[in-house]
Structure 1
Amino acid sequence: MELKGKRILITGGASGIGLESVKQFLALGAHVIICGRNQDKLDAVTKVLTQVTAIKCDVQDENNLKELYKEIVWLGGIDVLYNNAGVGTRPLNLGMKDSQHFVDASYEMNVNYLGMIRITDLFMDMLKSRKEAAIINTTSVLSYLPAVLAPTYSASKAAARFYTESLRVHLGVINSTVKVFELLPPLVETDLTAGLEEKMMTPEAVVKELIAGIKRDQYTIRVGGAKLLYTINRLLPGTAFGILNPKKKITPLLV
């Protein structure tokens, strides 16, 4: 798929993988619109990248999304919807009563999974009307096996992966030309992973592989360590689980 000249909306586009995508998509000649909940972060992006349009929006909020859609229509529509917004919460011991657990779990599912469905449904007819269009969803290697310190985050990404695969098939059945790409990164150096003492991939490297996959119409794009862990999980799931969840690191955080 050719990205030059495409109009791209990126949710969660003010930081991390989203912000790096903005930079690399612009370099390819795309027109980029970003949305997010933090106005200060949005303003910081547009101050440096003046050609970017930023719209404050929370993908959990149906009214916010309706206003976003109206503004996008006014701007001329989009060819690509990149669902990149994602949140994570602090580790909790699920074996102990904690009233915050349900609140955190609901928050993660609403943003990471249900928010993806809300905005995709909203823009689907617009995308189907374009000559060449695509949906890009960021899931995670955790969609294949869970991080026990992030159970609902992992579950939300698994839900997003199953939804992405199903959406691709459904669009094929109705002979739609909308392409559905899935990005599955490992741990990435973002605000979400700040403080973790783990080997992480840079957003720059992740997005380079994402773009390479899009250009060759590779619909499932596993990058970095996600490729290896996916393969190990297929052959030796117990080993893969242990690699992801070493007892000496997770036990102290759950006590």
Structure 2
Amino acid sequence: MKTTGNTIFISGGSAGIGLAIAKKFNAAGNKIIINGRNEERLQSALKELDNAVAIQGDLSVQADRIDIAKQLKSNYPNTNIIINNAGAAFLNDLSDSNGNSAEKAYQEINTNYISVIDFTALTLPLLLQQEEAAIVNVSSIAVFRSNKYLPTYSASKAALHSYTQGLRDTFSENEGLNVYELYPPLVNTEFSAEIGGANGIPASEVADELFAALAKDQFEVPVGDTKKIHALVAHVTEQVSH
């Protein structure tokens, strides 16, 4: 897929991995549209980008999803890449009966999975009008192995992973629409600070890997430590008929 001359919508684009991706693709000559819940953070991020724009809104809210999809269709009809990067994660101790585990899981599933399905469905008509288009779902190394700190977050990303595979299969015969999955490991961002993000890789490394993957139509994009796990899993799953 071409890596320049695109119009790219990035959810969660005001910081962390989303902003790193925005910077990488912006520098390569792409029109960038960033999205986030906080207008102040969006405006701050725009100062680090050239000729980019922002659409404020919370994609975990259905009304906002509908409104953002309408704005893309009306104001940015050339949008041909959607990067579903916005996410929610909570430390969730399943041994604590008073820890509100189900509510945390609900928010994670809604943001990381349900909202992606709905927003993708809302933007598909626009993407299918383009000569060349792509959907990029940002999952996680956690899809392959959960842990006691982020069990429900991991489950939500595993659901996103399964959905992404099904979406790719659905459009496998459509040469104009490609479906990518980006698997970051622990990344040093504000989002991951509570779980030791300072020990993670820089967000720019994730952006670099995605850029390279689009250039060579590599639909599975493991990053850093995820590459080792992905190689083992892919070897097995490739033997299973779809």
Q: TM-score by structure 2 length?
A: 0.91
Q: Which residue of 2 aligns with 1:252?
A: none
Structure with the greater alpha carbon radius of gyration: 1
Q: Which is worse superposed, 196-205 or 63-72?
A: 196-205
Confirm whether residue 188 of structure 1 aligns to residue 187 of structure 2: yes
* Percent sequence identity over aligned pairs: 33
Partner amino acid, structure 2, of 1:34:
I
The CA deviation at 1:57 is 1.1
Partner amino acid, structure 2, of 1:201:
I
Q: Which residue of 2 aligns with 1:28?
A: 28
Q: TM-score by structure 1 length?
A: 0.86
Partner amino acid, structure 1, of 2:21:
S
The CA deviation at 1:197 is 4.0
**Pairs within 5 Å for 1:239-254:** none
CA gap 1:146/1:132 in 2 versus in 1, 3 angstroms: same
Q: Which residue of 1 aligns with 2:208?
A: 208
Q: Which is worse superposed, 124-133 or 72-81?
A: 72-81
Q: Which residue of 1 aligns with 2:163?
A: 163
**Pairs within 5 Å for 1:43-192:** 43-49=43-49, 51-77=51-77, 78-92=79-93, 94-98=94-98, 100-173=100-173, 175=174, 177-192=176-191
The CA deviation at 1:87 is 1.2
Q: Over aligned residues, Cα RMSD in angstroms?
A: 1.8
Are the aligned partners of 1:59 and 1:118 in contact in 2 as well (CA < 8 Å)? no
The CA deviation at 1:232 is 6.2
CA distance in 1, matches of 2:114, 2:30: 27
Deviations 1:104-152 (A, max 9, x none): 1110110011111111000011111100000001001111111221011
Aligned residues: 233
Q: Which residue of 2 aligns with 1:2?
A: 2
Partner amino acid, structure 2, of 1:177:
G
CA distance in 2, matches of 1:197, 1:61: 29
Deviations 1:143-178 (A, max 9, x none): 1111221011100110111111110000125x3521
Match of 1:191, SS state, is coil
Match of 1:146, SS state, is coil
The CA deviation at 1:47 is 3.2
Are the aligned partners of 1:12 and 1:18 in contact in 2 as well (CA < 8 Å)? yes
More helix by share: 1
Match of 1:98, SS state, is coil
Q: Which residue of 2 aligns with 1:241?
A: none
CA distance in 1, matches of 2:149, 2:202: 22
Q: Which residue of 1 aligns with 2:227?
A: 227
Any unmatched runs of 5+ in structure 1? 236-255
Deviations 1:15-62 (A, max 9, x none): 111000110011110000011111111111123425111111111111
CA distance in 2, matches of 1:98, 1:176: 50
Match of 1:65, SS state, is helix
Partner amino acid, structure 2, of 1:186:
P
CA distance in 2, matches of 1:197, 1:35: 26
